[in-house]
Amino acid sequence: MSKPVPVPTTDTAHYWQACDGEELLYQRCGDCGHVQFYPRRSCVSCHGANMTWLPSARRGVIHSFTIVHRPPTPSFDDDAPYVVALIDLDEGYRMMMNVVGDDRASSAIGRRVRVVFEERAPGRKVPQAMLEAAP
Amino acid sequence: MPAEAFITGVADTPVGKLPEHNCLSMQALAARDAIANAGLAPSDIDGVLAGFSFTQPHLMLASVFCEYMGLTPAFTTAVQSGGATACTAVMLAAALVESGQCRHVLVVTGDNRLTGLPPGGAVAMLAQVGHAEFEQPYGISVPAAYALVAQRYMRDYKVSPEDLAAIAVNQRRFAAQHPHAHMRKPITVDDVMRSRPICEPLKLLDCCLVSDGAAAVVVSAREAADPSRHRIAILGTGQGHTHEHISAAPSLTHFGCEMSAQQAFARAGTIPSEIDVAEIYDSFTITLAVELESMGFFKKGEAGPAAAAGELSLTGSLPCNTHGGLLSYGHSGAAGGMFHVVEAVHQLRGQAGPRQVEGAELAFVHGDGGILSTHCSLVLGQA
């Protein structure tokens, strides 16, 4: 059993295509300026259908995290204990990612991270977070 | 405004390991007993609301259940709101009888998710509430999602792991006094703290059980409910919704339970301090702490210390989850939330035995679906 591989929808195909080129995109409403994640066809704030794509600087801060000792499926057994975190990107949106890297156990609320990419399957990279050097 | 909808019958099956049963056989047992408990015959039931099942999932579970039991109601549908399913279905049943569309609505829930699935099956299936593209690839589970809430909540409101552990200890004490409870062996704060880590800061004894079991209630219209029997009034109902996926939640400290409870209290014309007994969804210790504090029973950060001080016990200011809750009584899918409803009715009828809150007049019941995503509150009282 292998880890879940994201299957793009018509809303998210452009996002995942960019990830494969190691670019992280997010959406901003062309009508009201609302920033949103995950990608959707229309704006959750004004419901306009004029969403624009912008590249993220791929930097953010840990809003919360957990160290998972008991994975939901055996495909994650080799990773346990692993870190699941909610990351607030500097552009004003939130994503779930794993904090990866040898120092992941030092994860803490407020720690800054940068986004890297993990090749989950051929042609399918998923964003992940790595801790920035402690201040 | 006088109540127009009444709970007239309740029943539940044993909980725990029931390998001799399947989902539908347990549901039919609970339904039969709830109808009898209401003093009715199956032919009196003109509305049927069913929940969902992991072991016998079906596109039309309510129709399947009615066929299995030989019921031909005027109205039936399934309700799927995760842990809020039971309260939501009771709210919907109340609306059906209040609007005159039904006289007696059977609400039935139950699943054999312990023995009817392979080991770990329930945890794996529940993880599918995570977003397929933006959460599941990261190994999210329901405990992990609640742990994200716990970590942030504990930091912002200075809640300690021991505070949360006190909630689990209180509920096990109640479960020890319930002959049907899945887990009855008393535990201490130390036991909780030393139980194995699941998703930090949550440990095994911070997490609910996986149980087989079923429960059903009958909701009747005022003119249809026999006044000579001990019927329980549905005084107020409310809901609140902010998100489904935890990564899309607007906050990790404020949730839809605030709106849900406020609505139910307002409709019932009451306030939290007047509630005699509370049966509140407790998938994890953090779940109950967040809900109790969001809904106005305690200030932020004070639910855990209140549990440690005995305030949630039989002699405290708010006896809470007097059957033991999902943490110790049992959790059988949609029936998990229905056990809370059944216990509230037992309390209001004075039938809770050693767990009885003396003179209970007003009960509050709450269900939470997803990751504190969808909420439904009920205020129940004497007719």
**Which of A65, A98, A120 is opposite residue B151, by nearest beta carbon?**
A65
Q: Is residue A23 part of a domain?
A: yes
Residue of A nearest to B243 (CA): A44
Rounded average pLDDT over B122-148: 95
Q: Residue B263 corresponds to which tokens in the numbers above?
A: 């609505």
The answer to whether the beta carbons of residues B225 and B262 sit under 8 Å apart is no
So what's the pLDDT on residue B231? 97
Which residue segment(s) compose the domain that A79 sits in? 13-131
Q: Is residue A104 part of a domain?
A: yes
Closest C-alpha among B50, B105, B84, B109 to residue B377: B84
Q: Is A44 on the interface with B (CB under 8 A)?
A: no
Which of B117, B131, B134, B146 to probe by mutation at the A interface, max A CB count within 10 Å? Answer: B134
Q: Is residue A64 part of a domain?
A: yes
**Which domains, from first to last, does chain B contain?**
5-117+210-221 (3.40.47.10)
pLDDT at B2 over 90: no
Q: Is residue A4 part of a domain?
A: no
pLDDT at B129 over 80: yes
pLDDT tens for B208-220 read 999 999 999 999 9
pLDDT tens for B373-382 read 999 999 999 9
Question: What's this model's pTM, rounded to 2 decimal places?
Answer: 0.97
Closest CA of chain B from A77, distance in Å? 10
So what's the pLDDT on residue B1? 64
Q: Is A66 on the interface with B (CB under 8 A)?
A: yes
Q: DSSP readout, A49-79?
A: S-EEEEE---EEEEEEEEEESS-SSGGGGGG
Closest C-alpha among A73, A81, A75, A113 to residue A95: A113
Amino acid (one-letter) located at A41: R
Q: Is residue A2 part of a domain?
A: no
Q: Is B152 on the interface with A (CB under 8 A)?
A: yes
Q: Is B155 on the interface with A (CB under 8 A)?
A: yes
So what's the pLDDT on residue B152? 98
Q: Is residue A112 part of a domain?
A: yes
Residues A105 and A90: their CA atoms lie apart, in Å, by 23
Rounded average pLDDT over B72-78: 98
Average pLDDT of chain B to the nearest whole number:
97
So what's the pLDDT on residue A1? 76
Express as a percent the part of chain B with pLDDT over 70. Answer: 100
Q: Is residue A25 part of a domain?
A: yes
The answer to whether the beta carbons of residues B215 and B342 sit under 8 Å apart is yes
So what's the pLDDT on residue A134? 78
Which residues in chain B have Cβ-Cβ distances shorter than 8 Å to A14? Answer: none
Rounded average pLDDT over B99-128: 94
pLDDT at A20 over 80: yes
Active-site residue set of B: 281, 329
Q: What is the CATH number of the domain that holds A62?
A: 2.40.50.840
Amino acid (one-letter) located at B36: A
Q: Is A4 on the interface with B (CB under 8 A)?
A: yes
pLDDT band at B75 (very low <50, low <70, confident <90, very high): very high
Q: Is residue A7 part of a domain?
A: no
Rounded average pLDDT over B252-264: 97
Q: How many beta-carbon pairs under 8 angstroms link A with B?
A: 109
